[in-house]
A and B are shown apart, each in its own frame.
Chain A
């Protein structure tokens, strides 16, 4: 069998830390090869070695059988290796074509020749069924479309081997289906694909073979058709993993959070939350399902006092907290796991111990008449680090140095430890691996079982379906429907999220009009 890329026994060190140890990955021509591993397992490092951003300390790379030295990304491009990044590298107010030619603009006597380029983009788009308008402006098109622009960018530069880095992270279920079709089309046209992911379902759906790495070590390569999600998860984590989140029935009692006719505007004065009504009761988890940008962030920020409320009311235990300062809301019994843990959740340059004390630093026993007792912070941090299994060298390690999963565990520890009556968890498992996700879900359910109210916001349908007791679907700033997970399908939720409430009703309930 012909290999287009062979990475043999790759070793990459950073100081004393071995990020990649003896990893081998062989990509056959015309296959979709998944690279599976937990966060921090070394997937990105390995791909950065292939892309020329890092130089390996050991091992060799062969492209089409020939040993190569990839000293920088330009070399990788010349060898026909293209990367579709997780965070798109697009200029928002440029057109599709302008973005694609950026960096290698075709010129005629010094003037950019956009017309020819646009034609080439249109041809490529047609050939691979991408359906992209070369003249559309990036900020006007959907996230899924933007991703296709990224794909086109690599194809335009003549890529034969495409690396997809967590491509489905921000896509809707429908967009994911379309992406899978695009990937299959690419393969049919003779391209080869490396798919970096930690989502087992995707791997089972599209890949031909899977290479698993764990803690920097190459675990091995398996043929997808001969394996199953359980085996893959066990290979990745190194132990058996339960998938279906274990939980008993909910026993909701009185309302903890009540949102009444809430209107929230963004900084431009455009309503992002429109007359929204929502309630969360003691002892239940309410999941908010929706596509990114439909008012979820604004809703949470309004509840937690981080954003001004235009009109409407927010009640906690019947007490009006509308317009209160964040600390007052927190002290009313609200815990908040923020959507963006780097922006809101952590002071990355602070030690992790300080971060664990971020909500309690001003109270006794840590602060007494304005003087801090840092020993108390250390004690508290050690307790939470232990209780929540935060893997760190200790309370004094900078938060920045922890992996995403451990940062998140520290935040959850901080919020849950205060025992809030309402726990708001916004994208609590974003970017985390199965082990950490399992842990976090069980903590959320534990809170529920202790009689607390939990509001979960997620873009992942699996998560919403598995963890919630009720699902409120948000679209364009409104709750369009509230459904019970056992009585709905991903298909129906997907349609509701996309704003097709009518179609969803028809499809979901098989109603004939």
Chain B
């Protein structure tokens, strides 16, 4: 089997296997898998509205995936994307409600606020790692909790005891009448464009700049980087700051696009954690993140239709979606099995 054929076959076989196992789970739980998958399909591609909503759902996944992938490429495991997203969400919404400015200033300012808030939340673990060798995984996890509860408290203060802020001024909104009309009034907003530009930005930093060369070198081998005169500490901090900024932007998508406000949360959004899977599915490359985010966003949004249209309980739906993603992520095992099967065939001949 040629390399190219294997590369093409692996994802297809993975998805098919995931669908089969998902179907078995639905069957043994007493639900019709064909109806279930039809509902999933319609939930993603059913009409222009669902397509628009699916794209909207993909948007924060893109940025969360970029955040995780960027840190990974620099040798860091940023589990704090969730917290960085939450502070970004709050910062953008706050700027959105606090002042009213011309759109050309207000929107960029709100977006910038999200990026800066996320970057700051990434800076702390970066600094601790660089200066004191504190593992970034521990710090970022803790920073997630701090983000959650600090923003909740701030929301209460800002809304004078309420649990959500006012709606942001239209001058800070990413919403677009044009996109809404195009997609039968879905909440699709210009954030998707921004997220795709950021994919380009990540690619540019890593592949074109001297900073990217250093970040990748540090990511692969800190000792050799130090030997070559790079400042490993500076690069660690910068990587976390840039990663955090991407995550903050993911929060801006929710604040300025999808919801147009921020409400206090009982728990994490999950987008930041799913960003880890998105990045890994995409092998931490910018293009791969588009693939991972599309898969995650589509399945997550499409799955919402399964309880309504096919009567499958949400718990089963979540298991089925998890199984499909699991199989896609196990591409390595599938590749191995395919190669072994091919090898057996060769021997038999």
Contact = CB atoms under 8 A, between A and B. Distances in A.
A165 B230 CA distance: 37
A372 B205 CA distance: 10
A336 B211 CA distance: 23
Given A362-B210, A367-B210, A371-B210, A346 B224 contact: yes
A371 B210 CA distance: 6
A145 B94 CA distance: 69
A110 interface: no
Contact of A372 (B210, B220, B230): B210
7 contacts: A325-B231, A327-B228, A344-B223, A344-B224, A344-B227, A345-B227, A358-B224
Interface stretch (A258-266, A347-355, A446-454, A504-512): A347-355
A414 to B, nearest CB: 10
**Which among B211, B224, B230 has the greatest number of chain A C-beta atoms within 10 A?**
B224
A371 B220 contact: no
B268 interface: no
A325 B229 contact: yes
B224 A345 contact: yes
B7 interface: no
A145 B213 CA distance: 44
Interface of B: 208-214, 216-217, 220-221, 223-231
Interface in A290-313: 304, 306
B213 A361 contact: yes
B226 A326 contact: yes
Nearest to A367: B210
Across the A-B interface, give the 4 residue pairs with the lowest CB-CB distance, nearest first. Answer: A327-B229, A344-B227, A367-B210, A358-B228
Interface string A329-349: 010000010100001111111
Contacts of B217: 347, 350, 354, 358
Contacts of A327: 228-230
Contacts of A346: 221, 224
Given A306-B226, A336-B227, A347 B221 contact: yes
Given A347-B221, A350-B217, A330 B209 contact: no
Nearest to B229: A327
Given A370-B211, A371-B209, A371-B210, A343 B223 contact: yes
Nearest to B212: A372
A370 B228 contact: no
Contacts of A361: 210, 213, 228
Nearest to B218: A347
B209 to A, nearest CB: 6
Contacts of B228: 326-327, 358-359, 361
A372 B209 contact: yes
A347 B230 CA distance: 13
Given A306-B226, A326-B229, A336-B227, A350 B209 contact: no
A306 B227 contact: yes
Contacts of B216: 350
Nearest to B228: A358
Nearest to A305: B229
Contacts of B230: 327
**Which among A325, A336, A348, A372 has the greatest number of chain B C-beta atoms within 10 A?**
A372
A327 B217 CA distance: 15
Contacts of B221: 343, 346-349
B215 to A, nearest CB: 12
B213 A347 contact: no
A330 B229 contact: yes
Contacts of B224: 343-347, 358
B253 to A, nearest CB: 28
A345 B214 CA distance: 15
**Which among A306, A326, A338, A359 has the greatest number of chain B C-beta atoms within 10 A?**
A326
A370 B209 contact: yes
Nearest to B225: A347
Interface in A358-382: 358-359, 361-362, 367, 370-372
A358 B213 CA distance: 10
Interface string A367-410: 10011100000000000000000000000000000000000000
B208 A371 contact: yes
Nearest to A357: B213
A349 B72 CA distance: 14
A354 B217 CA distance: 9
Contact of B210 (A326, A338, A354, A370): A370
Nearest to A336: B227
A328 to B, nearest CB: 8
A276 B214 CA distance: 35
Contacts of B220: 347-350
Nearest to A329: B229
B319 to A, nearest CB: 37
**Which among B208, B210, B212, B229 has the greatest number of chain A C-beta atoms within 10 A?**
B229
A361 B215 CA distance: 13
A325 B232 CA distance: 12
**Which among A325, A346, A349, A358 has the greatest number of chain B C-beta atoms within 10 A?**
A358
Contacts of A362: 210, 214
A354 B221 CA distance: 13
B1 to A, nearest CB: 13
A359 to B, nearest CB: 6
Nearest to A358: B228
A330 B226 CA distance: 12
**Which among A328, A347, A348, A359 has the greatest number of chain B C-beta atoms within 10 A?**
A347
Contacts of A304: 227
A361 B214 CA distance: 9
Given A327-B230, A359-B228, 19 more contacts: A306-B226, A306-B227, A327-B228, A327-B229, A336-B227, A343-B223, A344-B223, A344-B226, A344-B227, A346-B224, A348-B220, A348-B221, A349-B220, A350-B217, A354-B217, A362-B214, A370-B210, A371-B208, A372-B212
A367 B211 CA distance: 10
A346 B227 CA distance: 9
Contacts of A328: 229
Interface string A307-327: 000000000000000000111
A211 B68 CA distance: 53
A343 B226 CA distance: 11
Contacts of A370: 209-211
Nearest to A362: B210
A346 B225 CA distance: 9
Contacts of A371: 208-210
A336 B221 CA distance: 17
A347 B220 CA distance: 6
A328 B231 CA distance: 12
A325 B231 CA distance: 9
